[in-house]
Every structure is written in structure tokens, then in C-alpha cells.
Amino acid sequence: MTVSNQLFEAYKTNTPVEIEDIEVADIMDAYDNQEALLERKKDLGETLKGYKISLTSQETQRLFNSTHPLYGAMTDKQIVESVSLADYNEPLLELELIFNVVETLEVEDTLEEICRKCTISPGIEIPDGRYKNWFPNIDMFQVISDAAVSGAVVIGEPKQLTYANIASIKGTIFKDGEEVKSGYSTEVMDHPAEAVKWLVLELDKRGKKLEPGMFVSSGTFIIPFALEVGTYTASYENVGSVSVEVTK
């Protein structure tokens, strides 16, 4: 069975595979696996709605022995308002700003133009891998093959914000009203718009664009941690807040 089919079966049945059963030769092979996996998800009726960007800080890159970010495709099914742990394997939580594309992003766009062409929402991303005991034990190629271990994303109310509005802002995650972790947008390649620009350039290499109606989960402010039952609220300076209820 191909890597993409193995990961698809794990995704469809929520039955994780053994890490050693997924062998990926290189980064080109990894993104080919991801595209084949997306096509299988489309067979289920899912549609491509956006992308997540991972490994946007030196700290997260070190976890997976990488020197650069990576991306993963996300479908409409993965945009959620609530979460049941029973639907996931080993889900985590990340603080991420969401860029909602209003005008097609082009390779020549500046960082300021990227912000102008998007609205920005407070977000919570829920990474989840199709591997047993996956975090942080899988390699970068296994991460990419599995759509950058995309689980779900919660997207809050959008705002039109400038490049300066989201430079060096603080994000904080609360669980049942108690602060859990906080971080800064500078952890995301110094500025989240830099991550989106990186994605625009990477997608262009494969003949793809970020078009109106799509979203980008731009990179985490914090090291992810295990998701548990409770109500989580992510609050960002200048952007706003969004919450998600997690049940068994």
C-alpha cells in the first residue's frame, strides 16, 4: 500500500499507523504524498479550503530536525467550532493567526500587500498526526506527507489589519479561564505575514495559488501542548479572541 493510502486509511478510520511503517525518501516525495492524500480526501466529498504552515520558529524546527518551514493542505471538514477528542488520535493545541484570502496572493506581493489582500482572524489550530505516539517523534518528511499533521482549525471573527497591527503582538491561551501559555507573533518567522509570503512562493513552485475564500493558519506562537477536555480561549492583542469547547 502506498504511503498516501496508508495515511488516508488512518485518517478515515482514526486508526493510527506505526511510525516505522511510513517511509518517505525526500521532501519532493513527501509533498507528492500529501497531494495524493488530498485527492483521496476529495473522494470523500471534502474540498480544499486552505493551508497550515508549520515549523515557523527555530524551536519548532529543532523538534523535527529542520531548517525551514513546511505546509499542509486543509479541507472544509477540518474547520470546526467544537471538538470531540474521540474524533482524533493525539491532538495538540497551537496559537495561530488565520489569514483569510480576499484577493489572490501573487509572488510579487509585499508583506503589506499580503495583509491588505487578507482579513485576519484569531485562531486555534489543532494539530493531529496519523501515527502512534507521533509528537515529536516523526520526521519532517512524515509530517509533510500527513498534510503537516493537520487536525482542525477554529477561526474567529475577521478584521482588516495592517502589517504593523500584528507585529510583535502577544497571544495567550486560557483553559477554563486559567492562563495556560502565551507567546508572540515574532515567533512566526519574525512576522506572520512572512510565513504567508513563504507559502505563496512555495505553492507557486507547484503551480498553485492562494485564492479568495481560502485561509492560511500562519504558524504557532507557542510550542504545542496536548489538548484536553475543557473550554479553550485564544486571545490576541489587536486581533480579538476565539474559543473552542473540547469534549470527550
> Which tens digits make up the pLDDT trace of 141-195?
999 999 999 999 999 999 999 999 999 999 999 999 999 999 999 999 999 999 9
> Which pLDDT does position 137 carry in this prediction?
96
DSSP H helices in 121-177 = 140-145
Domains by residue range for the chain, with CATH:
3-247 (3.90.850.10)
CB distance 152 to 43 below 8 Å: no
Q: Which one, of 214, 218, 199, lies nearest residue 50 by Cα?
A: 214
- The number of C-alpha atoms within 13 Å of 76 and in the hemisphere containing its C-beta is 6
Residue-level pLDDT at 220: 98
Cβ neighbours of residue 45 closer than 8 Å, sequence gap 6 or more: none
pLDDT given at position 117: 98
Least confident stretch, 47-56, 64-73, 98-107, 163-172: 64-73
**Rounded to whole angstroms, how far apart are CA atoms 53 and 144?**
10
Instruction: Report the chain's mean pLDDT, rounded to a whole number.
Output: 97
pLDDT exceeds 90 at position 91: yes
Confidence band, pLDDT 50/70/90 cuts, at residue 67: confident
For residue 201, how many other CB atoms are within 10 A of its CB? 10
- Average pLDDT of the segment spanning 98-122: 98
pTM of the model: 0.97
Whole-angstrom CA distances from 143 to 19, 76, 149, 181 are 11, 20, 6, 24
Return all residues near 117 (Cβ < 8 A) that are at least 6 apart: 101, 102, 103, 104, 105, 109
Provide the grid cell at 122.
Answer: 484569531
**Burial letters for 160-191: b for 16+ Cβ neighbours within 10 Å, e otherwise?**
ebebeebbebebbbbbeeeebbebebebbbeb
CA dihedral 125, 54, 129, 43 (to 10 degrees): 80
Contacts of 190 (CB under 8 A, 6+ apart): none
